[in-house]
Structure 1
């Protein structure tokens, strides 16, 4: 029997991408709400309770409303909003975060899909903190650039309308209160909130997250090869994961550091660059903000939950 899936918010960017990824699946039955009934709470409630898995692609408050509309013990939930990412009782949907995270997701009734930005920071920092190469109170900064699709429909429409006149490089989050900071700190195992300074570029999708490290103040300064080995060992132990680690190579630049390189895939590739003489390093994650960063992660979590 096909697993019944209801995407609440299927008309949004993430919802449309998820539906497209699931459209040809014979093992799933996609429940859909008529466009004229999207704001009808009773119709939404009926579909939410009829689904085996509900995928919520909604703003935070609307996602909370949908969760409260579920009145049974059988509907499982994947929530793509920020509402439950650090909430007790919700599994965090980054399957490669730890050796047992995929099994935690597989057995969970409630899964919070990760934000696109935090995954790159968590993917690079957490293995180093767990290996003892960085202390949990290390002062961290996180930077990066993402395609404008990460801003949702309104930003997409704005960039498309402006065409060549759209801003090529727009820093934001300059109040240092970005909504992704709590999960970034919590799941990277940081004791201090990092400085996070994201940028939107004039391209549709794809992203790079960078974590520069000033290592000279540490009692013992790790070598670049040690940083790389700790990250590589972590992901080598994750069976079935989609995160890979590039070889440790000294270079001035690389064509692989292209934010659009893995567009329309679920891949994430991590890089470590360092200068041991100056005790400096930079960790870089390249992935698709709509793939591993959003809809791809949701489908990966769905497959874990239904045993596909």
Structure 2
């Protein structure tokens, strides 16, 4: 039953068996395969087809392999079957084609998103220097900087909304392009598809969505500035401007949620939480974070732990221990 549950990715069955009889995961079959060898085999196609994209399929396979690896004896990782193969060698052989498909899928997604992000950067950079209404010939300041109508206050005006949304759109588009460039320049090893590449894709797609949304806000604010008092024309155009946001959300938001659910989901047997995974990725990609945590760890963090529940303490201590190791 354990072998069937592992080979066919029956998570709930495997968790139930592990909870009551962890020792039954130590069996070896007649071909010399331990349970880690079975976890290294490619999942049935009907199960892989439930997951969108080859990259997410490979991530799911890696997640299952790593979860089983965490509960079996350590020497199982180097144990060979009758064919002289270790579990990792079996995994590489079984997932060779899936790795190629995952690399192509990730590159296509990153390339298309990079083009969109670069286009937004170009538009919003130019818009910042060609403000609606032009500049005052005497002072050089934008004409609509403080107000667009005599009755309006000078605190929050449509022109200021335009400036802020333009800046946010420019910066988030730049961030998304950098994330997608990080994907394109990756080595595309198996381990990269577990945390590194999916996290970059999450941040890239989320930044791109924010950039498109704020671009639309900037466009609507510009219309309001230029067509003062013409609400019959402004309101329908503003409603139509929301269509690109809805289209992007309909086409990409489901993918974004699925990637986040797979990446930040706790390990199957509860050995690593979503918070720990996020800390690991941040520690690997932002070198200053381990140093900052190491500075504050003996002060506020220690006092904070005293008021937490056991589960939160476990999450926080695992994350802190990882960052301490990263910091040497």
Fold in common (TM above 0.5) = no
Structure with bigger strand share is: 1
Larger radius of gyration between Structure 1 and Structure 2? 2
Q: TM-score range by the shorter chain?
A: under 0.3
For normalisation by structure 1, the TM-score amounts to 0.23
The structure with more helix, counted as a fraction of residues: 2
Normalising by structure 2, report the TM-score.
0.22
